[in-house]
Amino acid sequence: MLQFIDTVGEAVAGIRDGSTVMIGGFGNAGQPFELIDALLDSGATDLTVVNNNAGQGDQGLALLIKEGRVRKMICSFPRQSDSWHFDEKYRAGKIELELVPQGNLAERIRAAGAGIGGFFTPTGYGTMLAEGKETRFLDGKWQVFETPIHADVALIKALTADRKGNLVYRKTARNFGPIMAAAAKHTIVQVSEIVPTGALDPENIVTPGIYVNSIVRVAGTPAERAA
């Protein structure tokens, strides 16, 4: 059942050690910093984290990695100029990396939420990221079999929720939010604003409330938090 929760700490309290956690965001845009900070404070550890990146700078996901809470990263682009916490753990052999082409990452997440058991895609064919995977010649090209990525929990950020849990995002901060919301067993969303049921135009809703379990309001505009 949909719950409106007062604090980010209560929102993430149920996340257990060893969970697979999807975290929305592409770089800092759409990254739910307050929920990640709360997850760090909760002490949950041995996590598998699904995100496009592996944290940047000294905030959000980067801190979760720094503190040794992440056992494995599933992502497309871990190495950045400011991914020093990931780099250090990776070089020390203290974090496992599953590197996935970005579109395959997105489609594998989408597949999980859509109940698809796997799919063939041309992306990655003939490269080291497809080694050991089943291939078939389909629709005029060689394609690689990819499997869905499920998660216990998704932490995402949206702009506005209504009381039914319907979500609207802001600009390119939408990125992984809608597909992660569908792929996780339990989806926790931080929003800037909660509006009454009926205040959002049904034609413009991006994520229907059926995919959402917990909503917590975090003050400040998403752009301010992401800057």
Partner 1 sequence: MSTEISIQRSVKPLGKDELAALVARDIAPGSFVNLGIGQPTLVSNYLTEEQNITLHTENGMLGMGPEAVGEQIDGDLINAGKIPVTELPGASYFHHADSFAIMRGGHLDICVLGAFQVSATGDLANWHTGAPDAIPAVGGAMDLATGAKDVFVMMTLLTRDGTSKLVEACTYPLTGVGCVTRVYTDKAVFLIGPDGVTVRETFGITLEELQQLVPVPLKATSAVGV
The answer to whether 191 and 167 are in contact (CB under 8 A) is yes
Residue 191 is a binding residue for partner 1 (CB under 8 A): no
Which amino acid, one-letter code, is at 67?
Answer: E
Write out the binding residues for partner 1, residues 2-21 only, by CB under 8 A.
none
Residue 122: CB minimum distance to partner 1, A = 5
Site for partner 1 (CB under 8 A): how many residues?
55
Q: Kindly state the smallest distance separating residue 14's Cβ from partner 1, in Å.
A: 26
At its nearest, how many Å lie between partner 1 and the CB of residue 217? 17
Cα–Cα distance measured from residue 161 to residue 157, given in angstroms and rounded to the nearest whole number: 10
User: Cα torsion for 151, 99, 138, 183, to the nearest 10°?
Assistant: 10
Q: Tokens for 86, please give them.
A: 């990931």
What is the token pair recorded at 200?
A: 């959002």
Distance from first CA to last CA of the chain, Å, rounded?
33
Among 172, 197, 199, 210, binds partner 1 (CB under 8 A): 172
Kindly state whether residue 226 participates in binding partner 1, applying the rule CB under 8 A.
yes
Q: How far is the CB of 99 from partner 1 (least distance, A)?
A: 5
Selected from 5, 129, 194, 205, the binder of partner 1 by CB under 8 A is 129
